[in-house]
Amino acid sequence: MDQSTMLQRVKKRLPEKRYIHVIGVMGTATELARRFGVPEPKAQVAAILHDVAKFADRDWMKSIIIKENMDPLLLDYHAELWHAPVGAYVASYEFGVQDEDILNAIRYHTTGRAGMSDLEKIIYIADLVEPNRKFAGVDELRQLKEQGLDVMMEASIKHTIEFLVSKNQPVYPDSLKCLNDFTKQKGKVNE
C-alpha cells in the first residue's frame, strides 16, 4: 500500500489534532532518518502508522492483546500504552506491513526497549519532539540531534520516565530496561 493511501486511511481513524501530530512525526522522522542513515520510506511508514490504534476501543484493544498473546503485563498498566502494540498488529493485518523493524518501531514507540534499532529510536524520538509538541524541555531534546541518535534517545527516555514519576504513574518495565541499556553502554554504573 502506498503512503498516500495509508495517510488517507489513518486520517479517517483520528481526530484532526492527532492527524496533524502524525504529519509532524512523519516530517521529524524523515529528517532524523536522513541524518542518521535510516531508509526514509521505512521511517515514513512507521510514522504514518504509529498512532493508527490510538483511538481504538479499549475493550477491542484488550481482546487483541489477549488473542495475539502480547505481553499480559500490558493489561496491568494504563491503557494509553496499548495502542502501540495493537498498532503494530493493525499495521500488519490491515495495512499489510510485514517489515519487522517497522512493526517494532510502532510497537515500542511509547515505551522504548533495550536493544532498539535506529528506526525504533527515530520513531520514539519523533513522536516526542515533533514540531507540534509544546512542553518544558522539548527544545533542548530537539537540539540533541547534533550530538547523535543515542544521545537523543537516552535523553528522551529519561524525560519520559521523569515525567511519569512526577505524575506518580507507574513506569512500564520496557522503559526502565531501555534506560538501563543506555546506562550500561556508557559504563555509568556507580557503586
Half-sphere exposure of 164 (CA within 13 A, CB side): 18
- CA dihedral for 142, 40, 103, 154, sign (positive or negative): negative
Mean pLDDT value across the chain: 95
Q: What is the pLDDT of residue 84?
A: 98
> Which is nearest to 178 in space by CA: 158, 162, 163?
158
21 or 185, which is more confident: 21
At residue 187, does pLDDT exceed 70? no
Mean pLDDT of 54-59: 97
Domains and CATH numbers, the chain: 3-186 (1.10.3210.10)
Residue type, position 13, single letter = R
- The per-residue pLDDT for range 105-114, each reduced to its tens digit, is 999 999 999 9
Alpha helices, H only, 68-112? 83-93, 100-107
Residue type, position 174, single letter = D
Distance CA 177, CA 160 (A): 13
Q: What is the pLDDT of residue 146?
A: 93
